[in-house]
Structure 1
Amino acid sequence: MALEVVTDMDGEKGTYQRGALSAAERLAAIIESSDDAIIGKTLDGIITDWNAGAERIFGYSSSEIVGASILTLIPEDRRSEEDEIIARLKKGERVEHFETLRQRKDGSLIHISLTASPIKAADGQVIGASKIARDITARKQTETLLRQQSERLQTLYRVASEISRDLDLERIVQSVTDIGTELSGAKFGAFFYNVTDAAGESYQLYTLSGAAREAFNFGMPRNTAVFEPTFAGEGVIRSDDIRKDPRYGHSAPHYGMPAGHLPVVSYLAVPVTSVSGEVLGGLFFAHDEPGKFTAEAENLVSAIAAQTAVAMDNARLHKAAQQEIEQRKRAEESKELLLHELKHRVKNTLATIQAMAMQTFRQAPRAEIDTFDARLFALSEAHDLLTQRDWDVVDVMHIVQRAIAPFEAQAARRFEIKGPEVQISGERALQLAMVLHELATNAVKYGALSNLTGTVTIAWERQNGDNVDFLKLRWVETGGPEVSSPDRKGFGSRMISRALRGEGCGAEFDFRPEGLCVQLRFTFP
């Protein structure tokens, strides 16, 4: 560190004006007014010079310290530094910006940056030393604060990374308890947290760190004046000695810590609160000696508690989702079982009806029996299709293809089918299947499928009228025998009309000479 001696300067002319003081006097004045401590000493470590800056920094006046050993300013554990400095000075070396700790008159320690220069006689022999000491305590405190903040951010990042990857609630809370106990300097720690089971019942669990579980044999904490602020989410409690807290020792039956309780003197409790405001639990840390928890520890644990709340919320949402998935899976399995049972019962019922009909119609013409069997089969096919589609909705295309499949094989693909994808209910699907069966049966007997050249076109579209959605389906026969309007309605026509009666449904028959045209209308219930 260099000292520069400068006299007054005329700012306009830029020339130096020499004062009446000698160079030595001017140098002495500058040294005396310096903010740095400028100290002279012998090679034996005896202080010979002491400026005002040294008095301000170290607290000793010149009369108190001149003639004393330089070791007065050096803490015992750093006195070896002085031997190293003296050794280098004797070699004529300069020691620059050596950062260390020195001791004030009141015993407090300060950070200084030290520069020591050898003082040489005319013959070049080192006869003493001058030291310039600058107080860097403020800078060191800033550096320490920045380092602590950096370490804190790194710690929180590590904690967040560790617990955010886990969705198991028990592992999360145990990990947080262990980390919090370590970082706070606690002798032991605990985390009491609330959980809700699949039945919706709430209860409390806990984790421990730093103590065996068998040592924790006094049950869950009660809602005493000490614990209540934490479980209510009112804020952090930090006490150098919880036994001296005015809230301590007023609750029966123990009026303090119960017998066998782990020793608690220093106490730190932080609530873990969800973003929704729900108190999820509380982190508790203790030490058997007083004054063990600092404000920094409190801030760190509070930040960890905030990270914990997020991780716990995620774990709870994951668990709830898993429970919902499991419930849906069980419901789907039950539904599947019910559908198979329903399918089985419907098949049995239809088989029973068929057996009864065979007995009843034993004397009837074979054609009538075959017709009844065919209608029963069409109904069975429709039920099969609905069972495959969970009895919910089914596409019109599937119904049409399933209904005409037996006739299409006989008619060598003489059907033209066209229409958009439209979903209809199970009730409408059964109606449509039966209607198509009757129309196809009639076409085989009397219409377009009764010869080798006729064709049938089945087309549909979804329309809206009078604010009601409905399905419009057209059955058009061409190329068959000439058609005329019948004198009376047959069973098939009556069945179709009755099946589509009411609720906006209906059927219109047009017996054109070139072929039957039927227009069907199904509303969407």
Structure 2
Amino acid sequence: MAANDATHVDAEHGLKKRGALGAADRLSAIIESSDDVIIGKTLDGIITDWNAGAERVFGYAPEEIMGASILTLIPQDRRAEEDEIIARLKNGERISDFETLRQRKDGSLIHISLTVSPIRSADGMVINASQTARDITARKQTETLLAQQSERLQTLYRVASEISRDLDLDRIVQSVTDIGTELSGAKFGAFFYNVTNAAGESYQLYTLSGAAREAFNFGMPRNTAVFAPTFAGEGVIRSDDIRTDPRYGHSAPHYGMPPGHLPVVSYLAVPVTSVSGEVLGGLFFAHDEPGKFTADTENLVSAIAAQTAVAMDNARLHKAAQQEIEQRRRAEESKELLLHELKHRVKNTLATIQAVAMQTFRQAPRSELKAFDARLFALSEAHDLLTQRDWKMVDVTHIVQRAVAPFAAEADRRFEINGCEVQISSDRALQLAMVLHELATNAVKYGALSTPTGTVKIEWELPEQAGGPRLELRWTETGGPATSPPARKGFGSRMIARALRGEGNGAEFDFRPEGLYVCLRLSLT
């Protein structure tokens, strides 16, 4: 080989060697500067490589950890994971994105995502492993927070669903006490709440959870420095140890918990306040160990208290509505009884008048007795109609149809009735019924209904005029005998005049050849 050839070979070999070393240096620099944890280890779990990312995350300097077991970084309860990882590596398997817990030098635990790759020799045998880890503690904390918030929302939805569908106050407060005691982790809970009875008297009741009622025989809470803020609605009181609270132990006679009282150390009290600002009561929870209630517990119970206030308001409104319905039902029953009694007494009175009239008119013509009896019947029918309408407003159509019904049957339905819908008072209804009966009686005896072909048209309206509303009713007879003004007024005419006496009332009679025409005016004020 020529000298210059040898020189060329040596130079080429030197370049290759320097290139290989340069690549290794670059790889080493990349590994060292990576933010991820990069650890090399043997299949026996001995740490052989340790980058700056590993030192930053786990807290060990290279000289402290190199040559130590990988188990140094694994919590005691998770060391079985390493046996599984080594077994899979020996089978040539690569483990990706394995999420687990590892332990720092100070003993604290961190969440990591682990990737472990086998390192092979020239003949393909797995001889070592490269382990990359990424700190995912922040992500896990976020996931945990989201899970807690989701669980809280589900819990509040369950509580709201459970108490909102119940309108019984006693069941609501007991359910809330049980739920609050369970969710807060309290040993026992109580709900002191205000109620008002049917007489308008206010008093306080309570429910218990986690303890028998016999265990609480000390009466209602007094307005002490500890209880007052809750019953005044001033806010939440949470204490890790109520015995050390500056508000505790200043009230006679016990200056603290009385002997035999349930053991209260951890203490949480939340007012239940209506949307109107009224304090409906207070939720109280306790535990016999300190530090049992957290800020999360306080927020959860406060949310439950807000839902409880809505449910209690709904229950109180429902109870008030039920009481009003019951009062109205009793009032309706009393009114119905009174109306039937009145109807009975009116019937008895009219029957008595009828009996006296029959004795008085014994020597009178039969026709006069019959006419008087018919008038009493008309008055009785009008009273019946008013009783059916509770002596309130009555439709004119009902009055007209009821008044002429006996005559319509006798006269083969020869009445034509037409008018607007209008309601009149009970006293006006009685007047109109009596007047119509007199007109119908007169038509049967002397007018259109005394012949087979005669008819009566009854129509009414409410004409617009000054002086308030007024009913105008027209009675028109046709097809009967010719009429003429009477020489003197009979009983019927005088009765009509008296019935329609008053301002705005009146009757006009027109004795036409084709039949009687009467215009009645009845003031509705």
**Which residue is equivalent to 2:105?**
105
| In 2, Cα distance between equivalents of 1:271 and 1:420 | 62
Corresponding residue of 1:249: 249
Deviation at 1:339, TM superposition (A): 0.4
SS of residue paired to 2:249: coil
- Matches of 2:413 and 2:93, distance apart in 1: 112
User: How far apart are 1:24 and its partner, in Å?
Assistant: 1.3
Partner of 1:230: 230
What is the CA deviation profile of residues 35-84 of structure 1, one whole-angstrom value per residue up to 9, with x for unaligned ones? 11112233333323222211211122223322333222221111222222
What is the 5 A alignment of 1:449-464? 449-464=449-464
Query: Which moved further from structure 2: 426-435 or 217-226?
Result: 217-226
Which segment is superposed worse, 496-505 or 135-144? 496-505
Gaps of 5+ in 2: 1-17
Residue 11 of structure 1: aligned partner? none
Change (3 A) 1:277 1:46: same
Residue 467 of structure 1 and its aligned partner are, at CA, apart by: 5.7
Read off the aligned partner of 1:116 and give its amino acid letter: V
Alpha-carbon separation, structure 2, partners of 1:437 and 1:123: 129
Identity %: 85
Aligned-partner SS, 1:205: strand
Distance 2:103 2:503 in 1: 101
**Partner residue, 1:195:** 195
Corresponding residue for residue 26 of structure 1: 26
Displacement of 1:30 after TM fit? 1.4
Amino acid across the alignment from 1:242: I
Find the aligned partners of 2:450 and 2:368 in 1 and give their Cα distance. 18
Structure 1 residue aligned with 2:287: 287
Q: Which amino acid aligns with 1:409?
A: A
For residue 95 of structure 1, report the CA deviation from its aligned partner: 2.1
Once the 2 structures are TM-superposed, how far is the Cα of residue 139 of structure 1 from its aligned partner?
A: 0.5
Aligned match of 2:207: 207
Name structure 1 gaps, 5 residues minimum.
1-17
The structural deviation recorded for 1:19 is 10
Counterpart of 1:463 in 2: which secondary structure? coil
Q: Name the SS of the counterpart of 2:175 in structure 1.
A: helix
**C-alpha distance in 1, partners of 2:287/2:166?**
29
Match of 1:171 in 2: 171
For residues 198 and 19 of structure 1, do their structure 2 counterparts lie closer, same or farther at Cα, with a shift above 3 Å needed? farther
2:219 alignment counterpart: 219
* Residue 4 (structure 2) aligns with: none
C-alpha displacement of 1:449: 1.9
Give 1:354-393 correspondences, 5 Å limit: 354-393=354-393
Q: Distance in 2 between the 1:339 and 1:254 partners?
A: 64
Aligned mates of 2:239, 2:178 — CA distance in 1: 21
Where do residues 81-100 of structure 1 align in structure 2 (5 Å cutoff)? 81-100=81-100
Shift of residue 293 of structure 1? 1.4
Q: How many residues align?
A: 508
Provide the secondary structure at the position in 2 that maps to 1:468. Answer: coil
Distance 1:244 1:128 in 2: 59
Aligned to 1:307: 307
Question: In structure 2, what residue type is equivalent to 1:212?
Answer: A
One-letter amino acid matched to 1:258 = P
Q: CA deviation at 1:435?
A: 0.3
* 2:397 corresponds to 1:397: yes
Aligned mates of 1:300, 1:73 — CA distance in 2:
37
Corresponding residue for residue 486 of structure 1: 486
Aligned equivalent of 2:428? 428
Partner of 1:183: 183
Q: Deviations over 1:424-457 (max 9, x none)?
A: 1111110001101111122222222222222111
TM-score (norm 1): 0.92
Aligned pairs for 1:433-512 (under 5 A) are 433-466=433-466, 468-512=468-512
Root mean square deviation of aligned Cα? 2.0
* 1:320-358 deviation line (CA, Å, top 9, x unaligned): 111111111111100000001001111111122222223
1:134 offset after TM fit, Å?
Answer: 0.7
**1:148 match:** 148
Shift of 1:487: 2.9
Instruction: Give 3-state SS (helix, strand or coil) of 1:268's partner.
Output: strand
Q: Confirm whether residue 350 of structure 1 aligns to residue 350 of structure 2.
A: yes
Letter in 2 for 1:345: R
Partner of 2:72: 72
Output the TM-score relative to the length of structure 2: 0.92
